[in-house]
Amino acid sequence: MAEIISIGTAVPKYCHSQQDILAVMQEIYQLDAVEKRKLSFLYSQSGIAQRHSVIPDFGIPSHQWTFVPTDPSKDFPDIDQRMSIYQSEAIPLCLEAIENCLYKQCKNEAVTHLITVSCTGMSAPGLDLEIMEALKLSPNLFRTSINFMGCYAAIHGLKIAKLICDTTPEAQVLLVCVELCTIHLQKEYSIDNASSSLLFADGCAAVLINNQVQKTSLTIKGFHSQIASQGKFDMAWNISKKGFLMRLSSYVPQLIEADIKALLETALNKIGLDSQAVTNWCIHPGGKKIVDLIQKELALTQADTADARNILNQYGNMSAPTILFVLKSMMEKSIKENAVVFGVAFGPGLTMETFLLDNKSTRLEHA
């Protein structure tokens, strides 16, 4: 059985309060008093206190900005400039998260498989080769990359890791998810751009998966995926010369609300369980409203959604790494013996991905 052994995380050094980000966005968008109040209200309802970014501008005076032009008539960085930031900033975050993940668990040279995940930057050679070189991993390493899948991509990475572990008993799989969402900040004021600037942040998570059962590990039991095709154009992610453009419709929470019960039931039925068996709920906090509606629709408690809400509050939505931040939080403090963990994340399509974990397998006495 594939086991999630450890999770390491990392965030950029710049931590900005939601109020500081709001002030900068109001200036960037050049809003009048009425529109400023509207945007301020949305920020106040976000459930986010702070977010991390590789961009320092949100916490310094406007004359010191390095990403946002100080002259409103000038354009924001183009796609080349944004990718240059990605290439210089993504790998240090990856290496920090990997170090936190592998510490006392696995030596670098023991890693046999590497899976990288990102939708906010691309290059070739890319993250996988940069990580290999930095960690001095074997040149014969199995590696693969998952790109442009959005917030549910970490679950897709776990799927691949399980397939590897199921066929390779000695596998030591390293899954690395990194997103620099804030480098795609847009100048033009629109509902989509305002929603993106309100929600998204930067971060990285690394996961070690192998077949070695430990007291603190979680067994990957299975996955289930569903496409809500009626939401195909309500969540989208497109490349343009101005950066990557997010389409984030206000209908997304309602689409999730309508399908979440059936999604849960089908996912649990695949391994012969019902919702009463679930002890922990690992929800991707795509936004406060999404968490609210899932809690209401599944009749969950505040305690059930506390980890998701806390991660949203302290980090915002970091896209793919976010659900791994939630899972790490749960593994550190709220998962007891004989637990069943249901995880769910959402992304373009509208795609809904789930996973089921447990720690019911026989634990090693000496682990």
Task: Give the CATH number, domain containing residue 291.
Answer: 3.40.47.10
102-149 pLDDT tens trace: 999 999 999 999 999 999 998 888 999 999 999 999 999 999 999 999
Kindly compute the dihedral angle of the four CA atoms of residues 86, 87, 88, 92, in this order, to the nearest 10 degrees.
90
pLDDT beyond 80 at 33: yes
Q: Is the residue at 299 inside a domain?
A: yes
Q: Cβ(211)–Cβ(171) under 8 Å?
A: yes
Strand 14-17 relative to strand 50-53: parallel, antiparallel, unpaired?
antiparallel
Percent of the chain beyond pLDDT 70? 96
Q: Is the residue at 169 inside a domain?
A: no
Q: Cβ(5)–Cβ(174) under 8 Å?
A: no
Q: Is the residue at 316 inside a domain?
A: yes
Average pLDDT over residues 327-353: 91
> What's 79-142 look like in SS3?
HHHHHHHHHHHHHHHHHHHHHHHHCCCCCHHHCCEEEEEECCCCCCCCHHHHHHHHHCCCCCCE
DSSP 58: G
Please tell me the distance from the alpha carbon of residue 148 to that of residue 128, in angstroms, as a whole number.
15
DSSP 210: E
The residue length of the chain stands at 367
Average pLDDT over residues 83-109: 96
pLDDT at site 366: 36
pLDDT at site 367: 39
Average pLDDT over residues 15-42: 94
Tokens 């419709």 identify what position?
Answer: 249
H/E run at residue 291: helix 288-297
pLDDT at site 234: 67
Please tell me the distance from the alpha carbon of residue 296 to that of residue 278, in angstroms, as a whole number.
16
Q: Is the residue at 79 inside a domain?
A: no
3-state secondary structure of 3: strand
pLDDT at site 233: 67
50-70 pLDDT tens trace: 999 999 999 899 889 999 998
pLDDT at site 247: 76
Q: Cβ(214)–Cβ(364) under 8 Å?
A: yes
DSSP 54: S
247-262 pLDDT tens trace: 776 768 888 888 899 9
DSSP 75: P
Nearest Cα residue to 110 out of 137, 133, 129, 139:
137
Confidence category of residue 80, pLDDT binned at 50, 70, 90: very high
pLDDT beyond 90 at 287: yes
Is the sign of the CA dihedral 264, 114, 171, 109 positive or negative? negative
Please tell me the distance from the alpha carbon of residue 366 to that of residue 129, in angstroms, as a whole number.
36
pLDDT beyond 90 at 191: no
* 332 CB burial (10 A radius; 0-12, 13-18, 19+): exposed
pLDDT beyond 90 at 82: yes
Q: Is the residue at 225 inside a domain?
A: yes
Structural domain range at position 224? 218-358
Please tell me the distance from the alpha carbon of residue 59 to that of residue 52, in angstroms, as a whole number.
11
Average pLDDT over residues 70-81: 90
pLDDT beyond 80 at 334: no
Q: Is the residue at 106 inside a domain?
A: no
Q: Is the residue at 271 inside a domain?
A: yes
Nearest Cα residue to 57 out of 77, 31, 35, 38:
77
Token pair in block for residue 96: 């920090």
pLDDT beyond 70 at 22: yes
pLDDT beyond 90 at 223: yes
Q: Is the residue at 331 inside a domain?
A: yes
Domain total in the chain: 1
What is Dmax (Cα atoms) for the chain? Answer: 66
Average pLDDT over residues 6-22: 97
